Structure 1
């Protein structure tokens, strides 16, 4: 049962944020798939997943939270033996200021571009699985729709996170071992941006642009064990910018090179299977970072629940053979 619940998070997708040059440019939040057997194929059905994270930062003027509602359809189609799974996810980012003066941000919330994509997941036998993920955050469609409130009481509307004006394309590969109650998973995620935007061109925002966004690489790691209905184990995750010399932004926002922006966090996870749904909670702390990144302590909470699974096939006893002589 737990294997199925964990696999249901194979496409737990979200978006991150960048408010200063000294941060990673990844749209996919590092750690968003920790605790999930993302390499294992799902049983056919429809699944709901919600993951929430809140990070308290040692440096910088903002703490950041992200809520990630996800709807997953694990289809009956298994081309070449791999199940096709489709997903839609409209994340929301929240931030809260740290009394940084009247010009600082008190709080804001913003919609991130809705993610649409899919996964191709294979059961390799022996409790091993591997999956490939592809999709896009439609930032130019509905990203950066939000409001920021300053300590002075003033309110600003778009752009709140102007770098979200460019679509983000996401690719990933994951492998999982799920035998004997274990979930040992490694997941590699690559983000690259349509930067500057080539579709609607909205990332200029008048004089605010263009925005040249660095590609980014994320790594999520999980090693947990189930004991009855409980799950416990270690997790780790990190991110790094791949184009540190890119200009992050120009125009009236100022300019600066994005820098390497890499960091890695380690922590622990506890989960419980309630039967109708599963919960997970994990906490991680920065253990390594580049000089142009930041330290933080991050807490996560997740619920995974099936909405629909097809009924099991009912075996029909063969009719007795009646012969007449």
Structure 2
């Protein structure tokens, strides 16, 4: 399968959703695209990819919550090309899980709105590829209203730009993801969280996923890094606005500027009919703060997190490559 199962990263495309503010204000999960050659076009066919992550933040058990996200993805790499780029159709229904550490805390799961999108991937030659993604996480059945998460009460629009080098068993990839939202996200009334009423204004977000791995036969090993940052808020609650602080009239807002960055290592193995990858990463920089069990308010102490990931990639159907044309026999004349 060589570099082609790595190219299936053009399919995964970070189709998960953050469960808590500690992920910063991003719907696309930071780090979900690492280990994948997102910029390389997929061979024609249908691919299934499942990525699972479990995240454990530092902090007191009374206020900290572990989270997990599972992202099943189906990709159709079509036979069609647009301006020289292969078109790949993507669909995915992510699910979020939360696990409270405090005594009596309830575990939850949320089925996030389905992601639908398309990828345009160019092969530039010399083992270099670039891709552009456009898609949307659909707010199906107003799924976020009961959860009290402004992100899930909006459609999330996503763009992605990636470049990959896949020569000689290497996968060196950089992928930039931009999330922006329907604003305001509207709640019809109380949704279980005090203060979350009326209009919500999520901040836009940027994610960066980086990969540098090498294959040795069927094994793969390398380094990964990823991060996210909030962008300045576009809502009416910016500092100095007439609505600032007036939650009853103007709704609430998540401030911009937050973010985090993690580094880690990845290992993988190609079983032939399917491939697996696993990686662990730890925050090296974060603006997230731990919450005081006594007051419920953020403290000055950083809330670093550790994340574990597991992925399975399985080509369900691929089109056989066209055979090489026969080499014509040399013409020999006898004199």
Fold conserved between structures, TM > 0.5:
yes
CA contact (8 A) 1:54 1:63 kept: yes
Using a 3 Å threshold, how does the CA distance of structure 1 residues 251 and 163 change in structure 2: closer, same or farther? farther
| Distance (whole Å) between structure 2 residues aligned to residue 89 and residue 142 of structure 1 | 18
- Return 5+ residue gaps in structure 2 as ranges: 191-196, 239-244, 290-301, 327-335
- Number of residues of Structure 1 aligned to a counterpart in Structure 2: 295
The RMSD of aligned alpha carbons is 2.5
- Return 5+ residue gaps in structure 1 as ranges: 146-157, 198-202, 318-325
Report matched runs for 1:59-138 at 5 Å.
Answer: 59=59, 60-99=63-102, 105-138=105-138
Tell me the alpha carbon deviations over residues 95-150 of structure 1, each in whole angstroms, 9 at most, x when there is no partner: 00011x55xx42100011100001000000000000000000002446438xxxxx
| Distance (whole Å) between structure 1 residues aligned to residue 45 and residue 119 of structure 2 | 14
Tell me the alpha carbon deviations over residues 167-190 of structure 1, each in whole angstroms, 9 at most, x when there is no partner: 000001000000000000000000
| Distance (whole Å) between structure 1 residues aligned to residue 253 and residue 201 of structure 2 | 11
CA contact (8 A) 2:206 2:231 kept: yes
| Distance (whole Å) between structure 2 residues aligned to residue 29 and residue 93 of structure 1 | 11
Report matched runs for 1:163-178 at 5 Å.
Answer: 163-178=151-166
| Distance (whole Å) between structure 2 residues aligned to residue 40 and residue 142 of structure 1 | 35
CA contact (8 A) 2:204 2:233 kept: no
TM-score (norm 1): 0.84
Using a 3 Å threshold, how does the CA distance of structure 1 residues 122 and 88 change in structure 2: closer, same or farther? same
| Distance (whole Å) between structure 2 residues aligned to residue 256 and residue 84 of structure 1 | 37
| Distance (whole Å) between structure 2 residues aligned to residue 112 and residue 32 of structure 1 | 16
Specify the alignment match of 1:275 in structure 2.
272
CA shift for structure 1 position 18: 4.6
Using a 3 Å threshold, how does the CA distance of structure 1 residues 291 and 25 change in structure 2: closer, same or farther? closer
Specify the alignment match of 1:258 in structure 2.
255
Using a 3 Å threshold, how does the CA distance of structure 1 residues 9 and 142 change in structure 2: closer, same or farther? farther
CA shift for structure 1 position 295: 1.2
Using a 3 Å threshold, how does the CA distance of structure 1 residues 2 and 315 change in structure 2: closer, same or farther? closer
Specify the alignment match of 1:40 in structure 2.
40
Specify the alignment match of 2:329 in structure 1.
none
Specify the alignment match of 2:242 in structure 1.
none
